[in-house]
Amino acid sequence: MIIAQEVSKKYGGHEILHQLSFTIQKGEVVALLGPNGAGKSTLLKILSSYLSPTSGSVSIDGLDLYEYSLELRARLGYLPENVPLYPEMKVGEYLSYRAALKKVRSRRISEKVIDVLDLCGLRSVENKLIETLSKGYRQRVGLADALVNEPDLLILDEPTIGLDPLQQAHIHGLIANLAKRHTLFISTHSLQEAEMLCKRHLILHNGRIAASGTLEELRQQLMLPEASLEEMFLLLTRKDEN
Amino acid sequence: MRTFWTLWKREIASYFRTSLAVTLFVFVLVLTGCNFYSSVSLLNHGPTETSIVEAFFNNPVFWITLLALPPLLSMRLYSEEYKTGTIETLLTAPVRGTQVLLVKFFGAFVFFILLWTPSLLYFVLFWPSAHQVAAAGYGAYCGAYGMLLLQGALYISIGCMASSLTSHQLISGMLTFCVIVLFFFSGTLLSSSSLNTMLFRQFLVFFLPMETMKSFSHGIIDTRSIVFYCSLIFLFLFMTFHVVQSRKWRR
């Protein structure tokens, strides 16, 4: 579904991403792991076509992301890291606006909005202003926004950051539910979350892919048959520091 | 077109969701009211060749209102989206950069028109109450309001450009105001320079804000001024588009 070939991003003399090549198959749930500054958010911004890579190419469903940007953006659900929303809008109104923007047919907008309100547990706050919502609810609104156009591919940048354990559990439940019907690419700092929700892991370090594969494949690559994801992650990301 | 309409409704509504709309309406009504009063007061000094329309559109209070409004209207256009991060969700939706730009520009411009619309009432009410017209013909009304809209659109396009450069609304507003004021006084600066030839003075007359307004409010409509202002509006919008697009190549 996603094929990235030698994607690089340079800015201000720094190489943020260095020739990343990877593939994500339809229906897969992949975790993007890496320490701060590894280039996770930059990679997700490139995949959502917010940023352009300095070199390399990305294709989604066989279509080049830059040539068919508008078409692919209509099929994509993206939740940025800080969940940017318009605070002066009401939840239902915001989701209707986003659905219209994402080319959902006019007569299906209210139906789709109700669906995502139910799915994300937002029915009770439908008529509330976004600025009055807690962080957990805002995160859900962001997720509902990403889902409102029934995207094939969902890109979530740190979907549980800053949430309390109860809110995290709710989002985990939601993501597990979404994983049955969507291709998911999730960036996270939580290794437990990655292990629990994702089948495959892509570990970035200093803008390069340090390792990629399922838990078993990672153990084989590193020749550590008993290692946990955390141990492998620390081993891969501390390598350059020593 | 549907995308444009969706974006436009949100853009226009965003002015009315805050106290900005009320504040600006009060600001404009008070200043234009004072301006109209002072323009009509001219009649107290005996017969005059200057019409009420000419006096209204060439009064210092009018210029203060016109120069102060665009920075206030445009300072949030892109800056706020950058600051809150909503530019990311906006530009990752299936919308074109040109649609976003035109919506922002026309949103601010339509609000600018709404703010000036009540001033039309002053002239409409003047005739039955004073039993005389505020201008000799419709050309003066059309010219004065046409030039008001052209200058407003130009200053808003400058504001668009300034707000695309920074995430700080205040900096964006101040930058817009400085560029507008510089443009406004450029005639004074240029006419005192060594370039002050006859040909140059003729050129200045059709682009200087005060000079053009003087002739337009007199009913003399010069197409060169219209072309000049439209070209500048297009230039600033074109630059804004490229400033926003260039962010794709940053981090």
Sequence-ordered list of residues with C-beta below 8 angstroms from that of A41, at least 6 positions apart, any chain = A81, A157, A187
A9 part of contact set with chain B, CB < 8 Å: yes
Q: What is the ipTM of this complex?
A: 0.90
Sequence-ordered list of residues with C-beta below 8 angstroms from that of B226, at least 6 positions apart, any chain = B146, B150
Collect all residues of chain B within an 8 Å Cβ-Cβ radius of residue A97.
Answer: 6, 9-10
The answer to whether B7 and B103 have CB atoms below 8 angstroms apart is yes
Q: What proportions of chain A, in percent to the nearest 5, are helix, strand and coil?
A: 40, 25, 35
User: How confident is residue B191, by pLDDT bands cut at 50, 70 and 90?
Assistant: low
CA–CA separation, B198 and B210 (whole Å): 19
Range scoring the smallest mean pLDDT among A184-193, B21-30, B130-139:
B130-139
User: How confident is residue B193, by pLDDT bands cut at 50, 70 and 90?
Assistant: low
Sequence-ordered list of residues with C-beta below 8 angstroms from that of B137, at least 6 positions apart, any chain = B219
CA distance A92 to chain B (A): 14
pLDDT digits (tens, 9 = 90+) for B5-49: 999 999 999 998 888 899 999 999 999 999 999 888 877 777 777
- Look at A102 and B94 and tell me if their CB atoms are within 8 Å: yes
Residue in chain A lying closest to B4 (CA): A101
Question: Which pLDDT does position B169 carry in this prediction?
Answer: 95
Three-class SS of residue B30? helix
Q: Which of A70, A84, A100 has the CB atom closest to B86's CB atom?
A: A84
Mean pLDDT of B58-62: 92
Window 82-121 of A: residues touching B by CB (8 A cutoff) are: 82, 84-89, 97-98, 100-103, 106
CA–CA separation, A182 and A175 (whole Å): 10
Question: Which pLDDT does position B138 carry in this prediction?
Answer: 82
- Look at A70 and B251 and tell me if their CB atoms are within 8 Å: no
User: How confident is residue A29, by pLDDT bands cut at 50, 70 and 90?
Assistant: very high
How many percent of chain A have pLDDT more than 70?
98
Which amino acid does the sequence have at B172?
Answer: S
Collect all residues of chain B within an 8 Å Cβ-Cβ radius of residue A80.
Answer: 85, 88-89, 92
Higher local confidence (pLDDT), B208 or B47? B208
CA–CA separation, B29 and B117 (whole Å): 10
pLDDT value at A242 more than 60: no
Q: Where are the alpha helices (DSSP H) in chain B?
A: 2-16, 20-41, 52-57, 60-74, 79-84, 86-91, 97-130, 138-165, 169-191, 198-205, 209-217, 223-246
Question: Which pLDDT does position B206 carry in this prediction?
Answer: 73
- Look at B88 and A80 and tell me if their CB atoms are within 8 Å: yes
- For domain A2-200, the CATH class is alpha beta
Question: Which pLDDT does position A181 carry in this prediction?
Answer: 86
Tokens, residue B215? 């002739």
Question: Which pLDDT does position B127 carry in this prediction?
Answer: 80
The answer to whether B11 and B76 have CB atoms below 8 angstroms apart is no
Residues of B near A (Cβ–Cβ under 8 Å) read 2-3, 6-7, 9-10, 14, 17-18, 84-89, 91-96, 248-251
Q: Give the count of Cβ contacts less than 8 A between chain A and B.
A: 75
Mean pLDDT of B81-96: 94
User: How confident is residue B221, by pLDDT bands cut at 50, 70 and 90?
Assistant: confident
Question: Which pLDDT does position A39 carry in this prediction?
Answer: 92
- Look at B92 and A52 and tell me if their CB atoms are within 8 Å: no
Window 62-81 of A: residues touching B by CB (8 A cutoff) are: 70-71, 73-74, 76, 78, 80
pLDDT value at A201 more than 60: yes
Q: What's CA A169's distance to the chain center, in Å?
A: 17
User: CA-CA distances (angstroms) from residue A135 to A96, A103, A138, A163?
Assistant: 21, 28, 5, 7
pLDDT digits (tens, 9 = 90+) for B100-132: 999 999 999 999 999 999 999 998 888 888 777
Question: Which pLDDT does position A241 carry in this prediction?
Answer: 57
User: How confident is residue B196, by pLDDT bands cut at 50, 70 and 90?
Assistant: low
Of these ranges, A165-179, B181-195, B199-213, the one predicted with the greatest mean pLDDT is A165-179
**How many C-beta atoms surround the C-beta of residue A222 within 10 A?**
15
The answer to whether B183 and B173 have CB atoms below 8 angstroms apart is no
DSSP lists the bridge partners of residue A68 as none
- The DSSP call for residue B43 is G
Residue spans of the domains in chain A: they are 2-200, 215-241
